[in-house]
Amino acid sequence: MPKHIAVNARYSHRRATGVERYAREISQRLFPPMREIKPSKALSPLAGHLWEQFILPAHLHSNEVLWSPANTSPWILRRQAVTLHDASVFDHPEWFKSTFGAWTRLSWKVLAKGVKAILTVSNFSRERLQHHLRIPDERIHVIPNGVGRPFEPKSAKVVEGVRTKYKLTKPYFLFVGTHEPRKNLDALLRAWESFGASGDYTLAIAGTEGIVFAPAGQIAKSPEGDNSIHKLGYVPDSDLPALYSGTSAVVVPSLYEGFGLSALEAMACGAPVIASNTSAFTETVGDAGILVQPDNTEEIADAMHRITKDRALANTLRERGLKRAKQFSWDESAHRIQSLVESL
């Protein structure tokens, strides 16, 4: 009997941050027969774990292989694949709430010993996961994230409408991401102060605090009197491409990323990218952006100055980013995942 794919869609009731976007983009591209298994409503973390461990397996058919795209999966199933996006919960436990970190580390150790295949999104993440979990080479597979519609350059009219919506009347630099320690927002705010051109530019910060992370630091108490810093809150996917398209540059000063999806989405929209020279950014951004040391605020500020002063550089980065983004396709990633899971 042929094996069909069932998707652990516990993630489906959550807002679309990077992991959820990956899960949704891939799941909708898996061609039938594919079936999502999900709870009927949003669950608390504890209830979600209980549903996943005890209820989900009972809904799996005998001719199905399970794929779990969002870092969690039932322990008792061997015939399954699970995507672990990075190893930060091991490399930097201080960034997470203690109960979440302890549960996740235990769960991943169990899954690493039992499941048939572990997927991850970069060579950097594969190396770190193997370091901590001792996963044999033949059971861990790198299939990168992708990008696609609606992340593409938007017209001046669409950009202007979104800028008006978010009251971005000046040229702006943009940060997009969950406000958590790894995103290094403290350093970005210090770099912004050093940038010294805030009278002419705005720093737009999109995103909200994550529920499983330790406090993000200074962003929660950034100077209210500084009118050059605009906190946009959660920005839906319908607005993000225009925000990317209209920015002077997207700044991604993360201390650690398993892939760096916001940088890829920014490049796909034609935005110059300033990103860290750490973790997976060298794989995702390559030479299409300015790579900086994330703990060097003067280097971050200097990169912003270069973008504003050198129009030829900014245009070159836009062109390189658009070209590089074409190397990453959700269709290709989904095809590779489909083939891998079916082979199990």
**What does the pLDDT look like over 261-297, one tens digit per residue?**
999 999 999 999 999 999 999 999 999 999 999 999 9
C-alpha angle 326-244-142 in degrees, rounded to nearest 5: 40
Q: In CATH, which superfamily holds the domain spanning 156-325?
A: Glycogen Phosphorylase B; (3.40.50.2000)
Q: Are strands 229-233 and 290-292 parallel, antiparallel or unpaired?
A: unpaired
pLDDT at 16 over 90: no
CATH fold for the domain made of 4-146+329-343: Rossmann fold (3.40.50)
* Three-class SS of 160-223: HHHHHHCCCCCCEEEEECCECHHHCHHHHHHHHHHHCCCCCCEEEEECCECCCECCCCHHHHCC
Predicted confidence band at 221 (pLDDT cuts at 50, 70, 90)? very low
Counting beta carbons within 10 angstroms of the beta carbon of residue 183, is it exposed (0 to 12), middle (13 to 18) or buried (19 or more)? buried
Instruction: Work out whether the CA dihedral 153, 320, 264, 273 comes out positive or negative.
Output: negative
Q: Looking at per-residue confidence, does 298 or 227 come out higher?
A: 298
pLDDT above 90 covers a percentage of the chain that reads 85
In whole angstroms, what is the distance from residue 236 CA to residue 247 CA? 17
Question: Could you give the residue range(s) of every CATH 3.40.50.2000 domain in the chain?
Answer: 4-146+329-343, 156-325
- Residue 14 in this model has a pLDDT that exceeds 90: no
**Tell me, what's the pLDDT at 198?**
62
Question: Phi/psi zone of residue 3: left (φ > 0), alpha (ψ -120 to 50 degrees), beta?
Answer: beta
* pLDDT score of 213: 43
**Residue 249: closest CA among 267, 234, 229, 276:** 267
Rounded CA-CA distance 166/204 in Å is: 9
For 171-190, write each residue's pLDDT tens digit: 999 999 988 899 999 999 99
